[in-house]
Amino acid sequence: MLIDLHRHLEGTLRVATTLELAHRDGHPLATAADPEDLLVARGPLGGLLPYLAKVDAAPSAFSRLDDWVRAARECVQDAAGDGLDYLEIRFSPWFINQETGLAPEAVIDAVADGALAAARATPMRVGLIGIVLRDLGPEQGYAQIGTLLSRRDVFCGVDIAGNEAGVPAAEFAGAFRRARDAGLRVTAHAGEAAGPASVWAAVRHLGAERIGHGVRSVADPALLDHLAERRITLEVSLTSNLHTSTAPSYAEHPVRRLLAAGVPVALCTDDPRTSAITLSGEYARAAPQAGLTAPDLDRIRSDARSAAFAWPAS
């Protein structure tokens, strides 16, 4: 069974589609000497920001709402083509608004139309997660949650992303309480660009049931015990963590220590186009290089299914 709980729509935009739209509109990517180098990581980049620059290079080429219908449709089609049984797609309507000027509400509708129509043509189950941008500040956090709740039926969960080290999660506690009260499940980017304190904050102040990345949790044994006891799943992306230099190599990735501590782990892609990967490839190639055994992967699949926000009721 293949389940991806952490896949950014903005990091799935096909290179071919991006360049087609760039040529249509005269976008700068259309005249770049090596546009693929701007869109795809070809090895470790030395930090999170250079990686995000490649993720962020594509969305501005998707300037029309129909482009986002197409983007979501292709995201689902690519996942289904890789044999996935379940996919959660996360995206930030406000980031897309910043890049394109399109209204966040209209972006949500376009993504939902494309993703859910494509999903109906496959046996794969798809859920959507709305991302709140930290960098816009806590007051805008309420506004962002309000917009997501205006389309409540579209989403299975909410996430927070952005400057993990610079904008405290505690300042978004009220906004996320509103999301939880409306029935949205909560995941949060933490423990990737900042340390264990960021993960603690996501759990304590935001009510996070899952953590995006979270690999720096290994530095705090008390946190590992807490994650294991509360069954808070870490959404781990092996190749993405290498590209962002969160881990120095597959062999030195902390995923085995997380599993040894009893922490639930789901293997995820993060940004498949940016990292030039598939989830099946992560299981087949990256996971063995990280020292994960067949029983480890069976456990990871089980943890991922248990942590899914939109899995059909039995």
CATH of the domain at 224: 3.20.20.140
pLDDT of the residue at 314: 41
Give a yes or no: residue 314 inside a domain: no
Task: Give the number of domains in the chain.
Answer: 1
Which amino acid, one-letter code, is at 34? D
Give a yes or no: residue 215 inside a domain: yes
Give a yes or no: residue 312 inside a domain: no
Calculate mean pLDDT across residues 280-298: 96
At 158-174, the pLDDT tens digits run 999 987 777 889 999 99
Give a yes or no: residue 223 inside a domain: yes
At 47-93, the pLDDT tens digits run 888 898 999 999 999 999 999 999 999 999 999 999 999 999 999 99
Give a yes or no: residue 172 inside a domain: yes
The residue range of the domain holding 267 is 3-307
* CA gyration radius, the chain: 18
Q: Is the pTM of this model over 0.85?
A: yes
Q: Residue 245 above 60 pLDDT?
A: yes
The percentage of the chain sitting over the pLDDT mark of 90, rounded to a whole number, equals: 89
Give a yes or no: residue 313 inside a domain: no
- Order of all β-strands in the sheet with 233-236: 3-8, 86-91, 125-133, 157-161, 185-190, 210-213, 233-236, 265-267
Calculate mean pLDDT across residues 235-239: 97
Give a yes or no: residue 113 inside a domain: yes
Q: b/e map of 167-199 (b: 16 or more CB within 10 Å)?
A: bebeebbebbebbeeeebbbbbbbbbbbbbbbb
From the list 10, 88, 192, 282, the catalytic residue is: 192
Give a yes or no: residue 28 inside a domain: yes
Q: b/e map of 237-264 (b: 16 or more CB within 10 Å)?
A: bbbbbbbbebbeebeebbbbebbebebb
Residue 186: which residues within 8 A CB-CB, separation 6 or more?
157, 158, 159, 176, 179, 180, 206, 207, 208, 209, 210
139 is catalytic: no
pLDDT of the residue at 312: 65
